[in-house]
A and B are shown apart, each in its own frame.
Chain A
C-alpha cells in the first residue's frame, strides 16, 4: 500500500509512545488525515457532475480513462464493491470516500497502482462470494427489479467468473443463449451458479444430483450439457 498511510498506522498502533508525543503525533496525524480527505474530495469533485454533485456515467468514463482501464473492466466493478455503491453507473460522495479510504489511496496514481491489490483481495475466498452477489445486485438498475435479462447475465457472469471458472462460464453462456425457457435470471439462480462451479466437477458433472435443491435452470443446464456431443 502507499507509504504515507503506512507511516501513520505505525504511529497509531505503537503503545509505548509517551503521552506528550502522542498528542503531537496525533495532531500531526490528524493534520495529515485532513490533507488526505481534502485530496480525496478534490478528486471527487474532478469527476462529479457539476449540477448533481454525483459522479455519473460520464464521470466514471473519465475516471476509467485516467486509470487506463476500460469501463467494462471487472476492476471497476470491484471498485464499486469496495465502495458498496448502490446504483450502477453512479458514485456518491459517501461511497467515494468509503472506497478510497478503505483502499487507502488519495490520488489517481495511487488508485491505479492499488488495483492489482484490490483484485487479489476480491479473489480471496472470504470476499469473493460477497463480491459475486454484490455484482448481481449492482446490475439491477430499476427499483424493485429482481431479475436480470439473459444478455446482461451472460456479460456479467463472464466478467465476474470468467477467469476463475472459464469452462463452466463458457458452457453456461452458450446454454443460456440457446434455451427459451428462461428470459431472466434471479438472485437465487445467480447465487447457486457460483456454488455449482465450486462444488460440481466439470465437465463430467458426476456429482450433480437433480434431486437436490439446485435451481431448475441448472438442472436444465446439466441436461443440456449431457445431451450435446462431446467436443
Chain B
C-alpha cells in the first residue's frame, strides 16, 4: 500500500531537498570537509527528480526542474567560480581556470546523474539541449566569454617564454587549450578565432624579428641550423600542447616569416656557394625547411638546375678546348678526349643524382631540375660532334677488343647502364641509334666484340628503355651472325661433299640481311680469278638453300689472309679484301702506277688513296713508293718491297675505316623526313580534321621519344603532303587541315 500510493511532492519541498544535495556537492568541490555521497544519497536525489517529473499535472515539475538545474549552475559560477578567476592573472589564472574547469565537469557529471530522468524523457520530448550541453554552455557563456582574452594572452606569453628557452608547464597549456576546444562542443570555432589566430600572429612577429637578427649576425649554415632547431621545437609544440589542426598553419607561418625575410641569404650565389663547396648538410637542411612551403622549393630547384647546367657547360668547354689545342693531331688523342668527356659527364650525373636522392629526398622538382639541366648542356655537342655520336663511340670503346677502356665485366655493365640513363637526356636518340648501329656492324663483322653477352645485354637495356623499335635492327644483326655461323658449317659440308666445287682457298662467308645492317656501297672491285671462283661456289651453294634471294657482295668489309713471299722470309699478312686485291696485282707486274692500279681495281680515288697509303706509308711498308713521300698522289708509282721483313711471322695491316659521320647524319635526316610524314598521316587519319597547331604539337609529341622535330621541318612536310593530296586546308578556316582518304 505504501508502495503504490505515492505522496505528491510539492515543488518547494522537493527542491529544498535537492538544494541540500547540490550544496553538498558544491562543498565537496570547494574542498570543504564533507562526507562523500553514498549510494543512498544518490538514489534519493535521483528518485526525487523522478517522482517530481512523473507526477500528474499540475504537479509535473519537469520544466521547473530543468530551469532550476541551470540556475543552480549559474548561481555557483557567478558567486564562486568567477570571482575567483577574476582576481588572478597569468599563470595563476591558467591554473585556476583548469581547476575550475575540471570541477565544473565533475559538477555537471554529478548533477546530470541526479537529474538524469529529465535527460531521458523531458529533454528528448521537447528537443531541448541535454543537461551536459546546458552545463557546458553555462561555463562558456559566463566564464569563458569573460576571460578568454586574458587566458589567451597568458598562454601566448608562456609560449614565447618557452621559445626563449625557459621551461614551462606544458601539461597546463595543454589543459587550457583543451578548454578552448571543448567549449566548441564539436566545432573548432572558439579555438581558432579566440586563440589560434592570435597565436599565429604572434608567431609571425616573433620569427620575423628573429630572422632579422640572424641575418645580420649569422652565416648561412648557422642560420639554417638555428632555423631547423626552431622548426623542430615548433613541431614539438604542436605534438605536446597545441591542437593538431594548428600544425600545418603554424609551420606555414613559421616558414613564411623566417624564410621570407631571408631572401638575400638564399640568393642564387648563396646557394650556389653551398653546392660548390659540397655543403651537403646545409643543403639538406635548406630542403627540409623549404619543403614546408612547396612554393619555396621552386627557387631552390631553379638554383640547383642553374648550378648543374653551369657545371655541365664547363665540362663541355673543357672538352672543346682540349680538342682545339690538339688541332689535327692523331685521331687517338681526339678519341681520348671524347672518352674523358663522357666519363666526366657520367661522374657529374652520379654526383648530382646523389644530391637529389639524399639532400633533396627524391623530390620531383629536383629530379626535373636535374633532367632539364642535363638536357641543356648535353644537347650542345662538343667540337663538331654531337653528344649522341660521342656516346656511341664511348660504347664502342667499351665493347670492342683493344678499346681504350679495360674494364671488368661488372664495370662494363655498370657503365653501359649509365650510358642508357644519359641517353634519356639526349634529344637526338635516333642519331645515337644510327651511330651505334654502324659501330656495332664493324665490331660484329671484324670480330672485334669483347663479349657477345655484353652486346646482347646492352641491346636489352636499350630495348627496355626505348622500346622494341629502337633495337630491332640491331638485334637482327646479332642474330644474323649466329645464323651465318651455322650457314658456314653447312657450306663447309657442301664443299667437302663436292670436291670439284672446292675453290682451293679457305673461304668464309657472312650473309647479312639487308634491312638490318647499315647500307654499304657495293663497289665493282675487280677480283682475281681464284676469288671469283669462291664467290661462284658460294652462290651455287646458297641457291640450294634458298630461292628468290639475291646476294650482293660487299668486298669493302672482307678480310684476307695472304702470304707475302719476301726475300728473307714469308710473312702472313692479314689485310682487307681491297688491300689483298691491290697486292695481288704485283704478282703479275713489278711496278705499277697509281692510275694503273686504280684502273685495274676499278675503285674510286678515295678508296685507292686509303689502301695504298696503308701499304706504303704506314707502319709496314709492303710496297715502295716513288717518290717516297708521306702522302699518296695520282702520279706515284709503286713497287713490291721484297726487302720487307718483320720479326713476327704474321702481321695485320690496318686499313682505317672511312669516316662515316656525314653519311650517318644524312641517313638520319632522311629517315626523319619519313618518320614525320608517317606521324602526320597517322594522326590525320585518326582525327580526320585537326587544327594546324594541334597537329604540329601531336607530331612533336609522338616523335619525341626518338628525336625532337624542328617545327619548320614539320611544317614543310605538312605542305608537302598537301601538294601530294594527302591533306587539304579547309576553305573557310585555313588553320584547319583535313585528311583526304
Contacts and interface: CB of A to CB of B under 8 A. Distances in A.
Interface of A: 146-147, 186, 188-189, 192, 195, 211-213, 215-216, 219
Nearest to B724: A146
Given A195-B734, A219-B712, A213 B692 contact: yes
Interface centre among A146, A147, A211 (most CB of B within 10 A): A211
Given A188-B722, A213-B737, A219-B712, 18 more contacts: A146-B723, A186-B719, A186-B723, A188-B719, A188-B729, A189-B719, A192-B734, A195-B734, A211-B693, A212-B692, A213-B692, A213-B693, A213-B718, A213-B729, A215-B715, A215-B719, A216-B715, A219-B715
Contacts of B737: 213
Contacts of A195: 734
B233 interface: no
Contacts of A147: 723
A188 B734 CA distance: 10
Interface in B684-717: 692-693, 696, 711-712, 715-716
A197 to B, nearest CB: 14
Nearest to B696: A211
A212 B735 contact: yes
Contacts, number: 32
Contacts of B723: 146-147, 186, 188
A223 B276 CA distance: 43
A189 B734 CA distance: 12
Interface string B718-741: 110011000001000011010000
Closest 9 CB pairs between A and B?
A213-B692, A213-B735, A216-B715, A188-B722, A186-B723, A216-B716, A212-B735, A215-B719, A213-B734
A164 B89 CA distance: 92
A215 B723 CA distance: 12
A7 B737 CA distance: 50
B496 to A, nearest CB: 61
A78 B464 CA distance: 65
Sorting the interface of chain B by its residue count into under 10, 10 to 19, 20 to 34 or 35 or more gives 10 to 19
B712 A216 contact: yes
Nearest to A199: B734
Interface string B660-701: 000000000000000000000000000000001100100000
Interface of B: 692-693, 696, 711-712, 715-716, 718-719, 722-723, 729, 734-735, 737
Contacts of A211: 693, 696, 711
Contacts of A188: 719, 722-723, 729
A219 B734 CA distance: 15
Interface of B, secondary structure class, is helix
Nearest to B730: A213
A146 B722 CA distance: 11
A216 B722 CA distance: 12
A189 B720 CA distance: 11
Nearest to B717: A216
Contacts of A215: 715, 719
Interface centre among B712, B734, B735 (most CB of A within 10 A): B734
A188 B737 CA distance: 12
B25 to A, nearest CB: 83
A80 B733 CA distance: 29
A80 B723 CA distance: 25
Contacts of B692: 212-213
Contacts of B715: 215-216, 219
B193 to A, nearest CB: 52
A33 B95 CA distance: 121
A97 B468 CA distance: 66
A215 B727 CA distance: 14
A213 B716 CA distance: 11
Contacts of A192: 734
Interface centre among B693, B712, B715 (most CB of A within 10 A): B715
15 contacts: A186-B723, A188-B719, A188-B723, A188-B729, A192-B734, A195-B734, A211-B693, A211-B711, A212-B692, A212-B735, A213-B692, A213-B737, A215-B715, A216-B715, A216-B719
Nearest to B693: A211
A147 B723 CA distance: 9
Contacts of A189: 719
Nearest to B715: A216
Contacts of A219: 712, 715
Interface centre among A146, A188, A189 (most CB of B within 10 A): A188
Contacts of B729: 188, 213
B499 to A, nearest CB: 62
A189 B716 CA distance: 12
A195 B715 CA distance: 18
B20 to A, nearest CB: 92
A89 B476 CA distance: 59
Contacts of B734: 192, 195, 213
A93 to B, nearest CB: 33
B475 to A, nearest CB: 38
A212 B733 CA distance: 11
A42 B734 CA distance: 46
A130 to B, nearest CB: 12
A212 B692 CA distance: 7
A212 B722 contact: no
A71 B692 CA distance: 41
A186 B718 CA distance: 13
A216 B712 CA distance: 7
Contacts of B696: 211
A56 to B, nearest CB: 31
B584 to A, nearest CB: 48
A217 to B, nearest CB: 8
Nearest to B714: A216
A59 to B, nearest CB: 34
Interface centre among B692, B719, B737 (most CB of A within 10 A): B719
Nearest to B736: A213
B693 A212 contact: yes
B693 to A, nearest CB: 6
Interface centre among A146, A195, A213, A219 (most CB of B within 10 A): A213
Nearest to A181: B716
Interface centre among A146, A147, A195, A216 (most CB of B within 10 A): A216
A196 B734 CA distance: 11
Contacts of A212: 692-693, 735
A213 B680 CA distance: 14
B700 to A, nearest CB: 12
A195 to B, nearest CB: 6
Nearest to A213: B692
Contacts of B712: 216, 219
Contacts of B722: 188
Nearest to A220: B712
Nearest to B725: A146
A147 B722 CA distance: 13
A192 B734 CA distance: 9
A174 to B, nearest CB: 22
Contacts of B719: 186, 188-189, 215-216
B56 to A, nearest CB: 91
A211 B711 CA distance: 9
A154 to B, nearest CB: 20
Contacts of A216: 712, 715-716, 719
Nearest to B716: A216
A212 B716 CA distance: 13
Contacts of A213: 692-693, 718, 729, 734-735, 737
A147 B719 CA distance: 13
A212 B718 CA distance: 12
B722 to A, nearest CB: 5
A215 B735 CA distance: 11
A192 B735 CA distance: 11
A136 to B, nearest CB: 13
A40 B60 CA distance: 123
B699 to A, nearest CB: 13
A213 B734 CA distance: 7
Nearest to A189: B719
A189 B692 CA distance: 15
B393 to A, nearest CB: 34
